[in-house]
Structure 1
Amino acid sequence: MAELGKTLHAWRDRVTPAEAGLPAGGRRRAPGLRREELALLAGLSVDYILRLEQGRSSAPSAQVLTALARALRLTDSERDHLFVLAGQTPPRPGAISTYIPPGVQRLIGQLEGAPICVCAASWTMISWNPLWSALIGDPSVFRGRERNIIWRHFMRPGIAGFDRVAQTPEQAAGFTRAMVTDLRAATARYPNDADLRDLIKELRTGSPHFAALWDDHVVGFHESNVKTINHPELGEMLLDCDVLTAPGSDLRLVIYTAAPDTEAAEKLRLLSVLGLQALS
């Protein structure tokens, strides 16, 4: 694991805080990320990053390696090399990828005034910016299936922290059809993805509504909508919601924006300053 540690350290040194969307934070001995910053970006502990770099940790999991590749903005080839150094098999083309290319990460960083969430082809949330957490609720408190938007919609409607988005009956029906269509398309592109098969099995078994839509082969597409967000501190906010597909990947970007010079735009600006801290 010594070579893995040296490589991680070298990659950490080449990523600047600005590139990662972080403040510079005073004087630095090197221009790259501090261990604390890499830990924050990857969702890992500082102690674990230290042990990895010192070669004192056991083989990291594929999930940890994917998080590190995302935080370090590695290319596909570098990500695969990271997996090899850690003794893991690089992600196969037949499996849904949770890797976010550097270009997409830069796009997210440049849209800091808009709440953004990035989802895999299965609609599992893999990244989000602080403004998304402040607006919708912090996804980091959830684990496993709870981070999958489709599973949550059919199996746990109104789950705490994610019940702020109000939809008209027409919007809800369109959203449901689009999600089922997306999931069916994912099965065609990734027929060998075991987790995707398990997800669909769970949904068909646990949700008669999903099973009926799946068996009826419904078709729907994502459309731009004006949605009402009921924020616990700022009240009602009317925001435009768009779902974009990242070029060259199956990643979905869900983005909320406000029309200029509106009350919602002012509330978003206030939210970007205050973040998750209590407004009371």
Structure 2
Amino acid sequence: MDKHELAAFLRARRERLRPEDVGLPSGTRRRTPGLRREEVAVLAHISTEYYVRLEQARAPRPSAEVLAGIAGTLRLTDAESDHLHLLAGTARTRTASIRREVRPSILAVVDRLPLTAAIVLAADFEVLAWNPLAAALMEDFALRDRRDRNLARQAFPVGGTGGASEPPYGIADGAEFRHQVVKQLRTTLAQHPSDPEVVALVDELRTGNAEFERLWSRHDVQPAPVLTKTFHHPSVGPVTVDCDSLALVDGDQFLVLYTAPQGSPDADALALLGMLTARAAASD
């Protein structure tokens, strides 16, 4: 049970609600945003003293029934409720460290997708594997050290002051991508709280990038939706692709596929990138 993260998460979720969101009169002006602690306790059918101790990181582990009551009161989404159980220690955590070795069968799938840019990501955004079209669309990850093949580090460079960072690979939705990175890293840290690389990465970004710290303090967690991304490529111009992230069976890795509708200008641009890559490889 991570008492301090649980306390911070509960405070953040409580402060985003208004009394009218849960059927209470708004009443007079409040000194602080959100519901009062005693209101959450009454609606969740627990004692005010116990809920206060939860938000002060002083309470013993809550039961699943108590967590269900709090989740309902705070109007948590399914993803937020799962995160609440993770922090409270009532959900199964995964192995101590993220699995970073990609199964041969997944590597074979990546290599057999000539018209699809495909990468395999670890849960902390380290790029573990990629095919030639992904290298052409994004970059040749083989030219980077393993530490620098992390998309979170690219999205939040150390020394960032909180202004808009330059999005990696010229993607058009840089702000949304950065927010998704923070959400996923928060879930990853809750699932692997003793993985030294994950802990070090989060600490590095929190202390080294003001924008990351600002987003981290929101305590947002949400699964990444299916997205459409536009890459501004220096050779072929803008390329809009569908981006599908598939969780692999072990849960620590994601197969990310970038595709374009057959016959579209974007599919032609991907095919041109593939030809340029093959031609460059043949000339080496």
Question: Counterpart in 2 of 1:180?
Answer: 182
Alignment counterpart, residue 170 of structure 2, candidates 164, 168, 192:
164
Give ranges in structure 1 of 5+ residues lacking alignment.
Answer: 1-91
Look up the match of 2:150.
Answer: 148
Contact 1:123 1:252 in 2 (8 A): no
Q: In structure 1, what residue type is equivalent to 2:201? A: L
Deviation readout 1:145-175 (Å, 9 max, x if unpaired): 321111210116448xx433222xxxx4432
In structure 2, the residue matched to 1:218 is: 220
User: Equivalent residues in 2 for 1:69-218 (5 A)?
Assistant: 93-155=95-157, 157-158=165-166, 162-167=168-173, 172-218=174-220
Which residue in 1 is equivalent to 2:8? none
In 2, distance between residues paired with 1:104 and 1:150?
A: 23
Corresponding position of 1:229: 231
Aligned-residue offset at 1:249: 3.0
For the residue of structure 1 that corresponds to 2:108, the secondary structure is: helix
Q: Are 2:257 and 1:250 aligned?
A: no
Alignment of 1:15-34 (within 5 A): none
User: What is the CA-CA distance between 1:275 and the residue it aligns to?
Assistant: 0.8
Counterpart CA distance in 2 for 1:158 and 1:116 is 23
Which protein is bigger by CA-based radius of gyration? 2
Tell me how large the CA RMSD over aligned residues is.
2.2
Q: CA contact under 8 A between 2:243 and 2:259: conserved in structure 1? A: yes
CA contact (8 A) 1:96 1:190 kept: yes
Q: Which amino acid aligns with 2:107?
A: Q
Structure 2 length as normaliser, TM-score?
0.58
Unaligned runs of 5+ in 2: 1-93, 159-164
Q: CA deviation at 1:178?
A: 2.1
Structure 1 residues 250 and 215, CA gap change in structure 2 (3 angstroms) = same
User: Could you tell me how far apart the structure 1 residues matched to 2:250 and 2:195 are?
Assistant: 19
Q: Structure 1 residues 236, 276: CA separation in 2 closer, same or farther (over 3 Å shift)?
A: farther
Partner of 2:61: none
Q: Would you say the 8 A contact 1:125–1:148 is kept in 2?
A: yes
Tell whether the 8 Å contact from 2:186 to 2:221 is kept in structure 1 after alignment: no
Other structure's SS at 2:242 match: strand
Contact 2:169 2:231 in 1 (8 A): no
Secondary structure of the structure 1 residue equivalent to 2:169: coil
TM-score, length-scaled by structure 1: 0.59
Change (3 A) 1:224 1:93: closer
Distance in 1 between residues matched to 2:99 and 2:234, nearest whole Å: 34
Offset of residue 221 of structure 1 = 2.7
